[in-house]
Amino acid sequence: MALGFSLVADTGGTNTRVALASDGVVDQSSIRRYRNAQASGMAEILRQYLDDIAVSDAQISGACVAIAGPVRDGVAKMTNLDWRIDREMLGDVLSAKKLAVLNDLQAQGHAIGHLEDQFVTQILPQPESSRHAAKLVIGLGTGFNAAPVYDTQAGRFVPPSESGHISLPWSGNETETVAQSLRASQGFASVEEVLSGRGIERLHQHLHGEERSAADIMAALEAGDPNSEATARLFVKILGTVTGDLALINLPFGGIYLIGGVSRAIAPHLERFGFAQSLHAKGRFSDFMGQFGVFVVSDDYAALTGCAAHLSHL
């Protein structure tokens, strides 16, 4: 293997996926998954990966790690792990000079436009737009986050965000009672406490008094269970409202991209549960909202692709 390969990694709360990339393209055969609980830190995982694929650090020309958590000035501190990840740490493991640490939604933003068509499904039509039009990625999984994507003359810029922790918007009596319940139990009603895997569980318990896992709720939804349908309908209504709010803030005329496991699970039900109607319900700006196309990304390795694309332009 020749000099010039990039090392890319995607670190969540439970697992870290690592791969090699060349010219912005991830080598799918090089992807390995590691349990975070079995490592003392990211450095150990990266060293283990190099051993596993029999590559020396001298063969790596750049490295980029995407983190499911806040990143400030290239420094990430994991929320659920006592790990600090920064360029200095990467430099201790690798001899590469091109080093980057991104929030995972930033990495997803850098992946847009570099994914195969089979992994991008259109939900709402995308009007013709400028190649410099802003885009927006919204992640629904273990948590919730969003990040705008700007294609400038100087290259792509994806600023970090912690949008999951903004206040849950009021969009009717049902949402207000959910918010009241969250304020009573959590002290604050955030978007993430509803629009995430655990959010589906909270909504279901709130509506029906049943404690069920998100996976069980979605399975019951597929089987036609009316309680699960009511939960999914309210989830989709709130998702449409929040997506519309974020669209008005960021004006993503280049499209909105929903990513993450919860996005993929709920995607087949967005139309029948009124996602478009909730997204467009902005009073006199309702017609204006039709300018934002919506897509669902199903590539589980999109963050790795985004890291590779980011490195290729550094």
Mind listing the pLDDT tens digit for each residue in 105-118? 999 999 999 999 99
Q: E strands, the chain, where?
A: 5-11, 15-22, 25-26, 32-35, 60-67, 71-72, 75-77, 84-86, 98-103, 120-124, 135-140, 144-152, 155-157, 256-259, 294-297
pLDDT of residue 226: 97
pLDDT at 69 over 90: no
pLDDT of residue 215: 96
Exposure string over 176-198, b if 16+ CB within 10 A, otherwise e: eebbebbeeeeeebbbbbbbbbe
88-144 pLDDT, tens per residue? 999 989 988 899 999 999 999 999 999 999 999 999 999 999 999 999 999 999 899
**pLDDT band at residue 60 using 50, 70 and 90 as cut-offs:** very high
205-220: average pLDDT: 96
How many residues are recorded in the chain?
314
CA distances from 121 to 239, 240, 272 (A): 18, 17, 16
65-74: average pLDDT: 89
Of 175 and 240, the one with more pLDDT? 240
Distance from C-alpha of 225 to C-alpha of 222, rounded to nearest angstrom: 8
pLDDT of residue 1: 38
CB neighbours of residue 116 within 10 Å: 8
pLDDT at 172 over 80: no
20-32: average pLDDT: 95
**pLDDT band at residue 14 using 50, 70 and 90 as cut-offs:** confident
pLDDT at 2 over 70: no
CA distances from 22 to 28, 87, 111, 310, 312 (A): 11, 20, 15, 12, 8
What is the CATH class of 117-298?
alpha beta
Distance from C-alpha of 153 to C-alpha of 121, rounded to nearest angstrom: 28
DSSP-derived letter for residue 167 is: B
DSSP-derived letter for residue 23 is: T
pLDDT of residue 252: 98
What is the CATH class of 5-111+302-312?
alpha beta
For the chain, residues classed under CATH 3.40.367.20 are 117-298
246-265: average pLDDT: 97
Would you list the DSSP string of 241-295?
Answer: HHHHHHHHHH--TT-EEEESHHHHHHGGGTTTTTHHHHHH--GGGTTGGGG--EE
Q: Which two tokens stand for residue 155?
A: 């290259």
274-314 pLDDT, tens per residue? 999 999 999 999 999 999 999 999 999 999 999 999 999 88
Distance from C-alpha of 288 to C-alpha of 267, rounded to nearest angstrom: 23
CA-CA-CA-CA torsion for 208, 212, 215, 217, nearest 10 degrees?
Answer: -20
For the chain, residues classed under CATH 3.30.420.40 are 5-111+302-312
CA-CA-CA-CA torsion for 278, 282, 286, 288, nearest 10 degrees?
Answer: -110
Confidence (pTM): 0.93
pLDDT at 237 over 60: yes
